[in-house]
Chains A and B, each alone.
Chain A
Amino acid sequence: MNAAGVIRPTRAEVSTAPRGGHPGGALMQDEPLIFELGGWDRTGIDFPGEPTGADMGASDLAGLTRAAPPVLPGLSEPETVRHYVRLSQKNHAIDLALYPLGSCTMKHNPRLNEKLARLPGFLDIHPLQPVSTVQGALALMDTLAHWLKTLAGMPAIALSPKAGAHGELCGLLAIRAAHEARGDGRKTVLVPTSAHGTNPATAALAGYAVVEIAQTADGHVDLTDLAGKLHPDVAAVMVTNPNTCGLFERDVIEIARLTHAAGAYFYCDGANFNAIVGRVRPGDLGIDAMHINLHKTFSTPHGGGGPGAGPVVLSAALAAFAPVPWIVHVGGRFDLIEQATGAAEAALGRMCAFHGQMGMYVRALAYMMSHGADGLRQVAEDAVLNANYVKARLAGSMTQPFPIGPCMHEALFDDRWLEGTGVTTLDFAKAMIDAGFHPMTMYFPLVVHGAMLIEPTETEPRRELDRFCDALLELAAAVRAGDVERFKGAPFSAPLRRLDETLAARRPRLRWTAE
């Protein structure tokens, strides 16, 4: 007891181990929908008065107006704030703990980025105000383009795609435009069996038939299979590198050579760029187009499902086909070419309205400038180090499909070690929730049975990596000890127990209705 009569625990008594389950469990609220809180004829906004005293009703729009206001509740600010704060407390997030999602690159989202994106000079400018009044914005986009082209070792870039999948489409459409310009109407795209679903979906959207390339026993693209499938009808080969098994495609230069020899183009899915940024340039590997996920490698926040940004770096062969707008620098000023005319005559068209995801460009450039060339190289090194550390710590307990040699920025496990235990990959993942962690990516890539893909990223301290590995080792031991119910019934301590996805799909209820 100290002088004030307060009993303080000794250092040994204070537990720093987190409570199992969702942090802040005691604060969980059973929060209704806004439609269940009343407020049907109310609003939480105080409106300004009229500019003149004259009657400015909508009588000139007779016949075009709705009969009554939309039937939606309006809540006061205190009610609204409380509602969404309570909801937020039911979410797990990177700011709470390591988020081991493979190929998602859940790194820390620097708050400087948020501050700078909100400067009125970036936030409050309209895409169509005169170009002379937004020279700073165009300069920023040009600077970002320079950083991305330099890191990629490629001469051109399309900034406008709004997400990775949008960027994949942009890249494939540029490839298609290049073939059409040569009068070459090829109809097939080759995609590895391990590819992310957006790859074949994008190829189909771009009007191509998809043919799969086999994988070798050690998790790489099968060169023989690829060579055998590279006939004159192939427009492009789409590869992820490092691949979705977390391995660098060591034959990538040969893949590029074979692809080009067949008159096709080499598209790279850049989702895993975090493993090689600053250490390898995609341009040096013979890649013709690669989208970069700014919300992965370059730290822009995931926001519960976006917004993302997917600029596409392009080789010299594809540069002319980049979609508008193009940013050009003429006589000391920046300008925008917004139609496919003049210098941009061969442009494939427009991917979306306006110029792209400016809000994400500010954040990504702030991130890049903060790290610098040296820091970005360190990012890749620490990301790869962290993944290999996790791999080494878990290797004795969990089986791996490709155990030999190092992984890149993500470690892949399969479910062979779960055979006969009654516990599936899904069950194991749900039990991780009770241990305070978001599950890793499950059942992807499809080529590995019961896949578990773990990407720890470079912003994880060693202490957190150890906490994560300790938790998984304890869970694995529990599996071996036969404690099946702990897994089958998981999660027990999250805001909700396991949810019935079958019911949701059989009887879809996609909005609230008053009945």
Chain B
Amino acid sequence: MRFSKDHEWVEVAGDVATVGITAYAAEQLGDVVFVELPAEGATVKAGENLAVVESVKAASDVYAPVSGEVTASNPALTDNPETVNDSPEAAGWFVRIKLADPAEADGLMDRAAYEAFLATL
């Protein structure tokens, strides 16, 4: 699993990346009430808006950590947005992306580097 500075995680299998937000981000947001996800087939570029996560009092933009085409959005989040709080780095995944560049995620932090980064915040 790799991590971005904006608190997204990426799990790559072949040329498909699963993307979500980290436990730290979910903790900061508080109770998630809604997640606005992109449509299947949408193209995303690293650094651009991927999704919006809403808590009761705030709406936060989530940025794509990698580029590619969205092949799936997590259906569980429609009826159960609390999954993001319960299991942010597993069952609470946001989208699956067919990577434009399968090696792109290698440029992101590994868990140790991410935890070190969190310590500086």
Contacts and interface: CB of A to CB of B under 8 A. Distances in A.
A65 interface: no
B10 interface: no
A443 B34 CA distance: 22
A76 to B, nearest CB: 39
A58 interface: no
A501 B33 CA distance: 9
Interface in B53-108: 54-57, 81-82
Interface in A491-511: 501-502, 505-506
Interface string B2-31: 000000000000000000000000000001
A127 to B, nearest CB: 39
A192 to B, nearest CB: 20
Interface residues of A, number: 5
A443 B58 CA distance: 12
B115 to A, nearest CB: 25
A202 B56 CA distance: 22
Contacts of A506: 31, 33-34, 81-82
Contacts of B82: 506
Nearest to B57: A443
Contacts of A501: 56
Chain B facing A: main interface SS: loop
B76 to A, nearest CB: 13
Nearest to A501: B56
Interface in A428-452: 443
Contacts of B33: 502, 505-506
A506 B81 CA distance: 7
Contacts of A443: 57
A221 to B, nearest CB: 25
Contacts of B56: 501-502, 505
Interface string A294-335: 000000000000000000000000000000000000000000
B87 to A, nearest CB: 16
B26 to A, nearest CB: 14
A506 B34 CA distance: 7
Contacts of B55: 502
Contacts of A502: 31, 33, 55-56
A204 B58 CA distance: 19
Nearest to A505: B33
A447 to B, nearest CB: 15
Nearest to A443: B57
A203 to B, nearest CB: 18
Interface in A470-504: 501-502
A502 B29 CA distance: 12
A506 B82 CA distance: 8
Nearest to A426: B57
A501 B82 CA distance: 13
A501 B55 CA distance: 10
Nearest to B54: A505
B77 to A, nearest CB: 11
Nearest to B81: A506
A32 B56 CA distance: 26
A502 to B, nearest CB: 4
A502 B34 CA distance: 10
A502 B81 CA distance: 11
B92 to A, nearest CB: 14
B79 to A, nearest CB: 9
A297 B84 CA distance: 45
A443 B57 CA distance: 10
Nearest to A502: B31
Nearest to B30: A502
Contacts of B57: 443
Nearest to B56: A501
A251 to B, nearest CB: 32
A502 B54 CA distance: 10
Nearest to B31: A502
A443 B56 CA distance: 14
Contacts of B81: 506
A506 B54 CA distance: 10
A423 B34 CA distance: 27
Interface in A133-174: none
B39 to A, nearest CB: 22
A142 B8 CA distance: 59
A240 B54 CA distance: 28
A450 to B, nearest CB: 13
Given A502-B55, A506-B34, A506-B82, 12 more contacts: A443-B57, A501-B56, A502-B31, A502-B33, A502-B56, A505-B33, A505-B34, A505-B54, A505-B56, A506-B31, A506-B33, A506-B81
The 5 closest A-B pairs by CB, nearest first: A505-B33, A502-B31, A501-B56, A506-B33, A505-B56
15 contacts: A443-B57, A501-B56, A502-B31, A502-B33, A502-B55, A502-B56, A505-B33, A505-B34, A505-B54, A505-B56, A506-B31, A506-B33, A506-B34, A506-B81, A506-B82
Interface of B: 31, 33-34, 54-57, 81-82
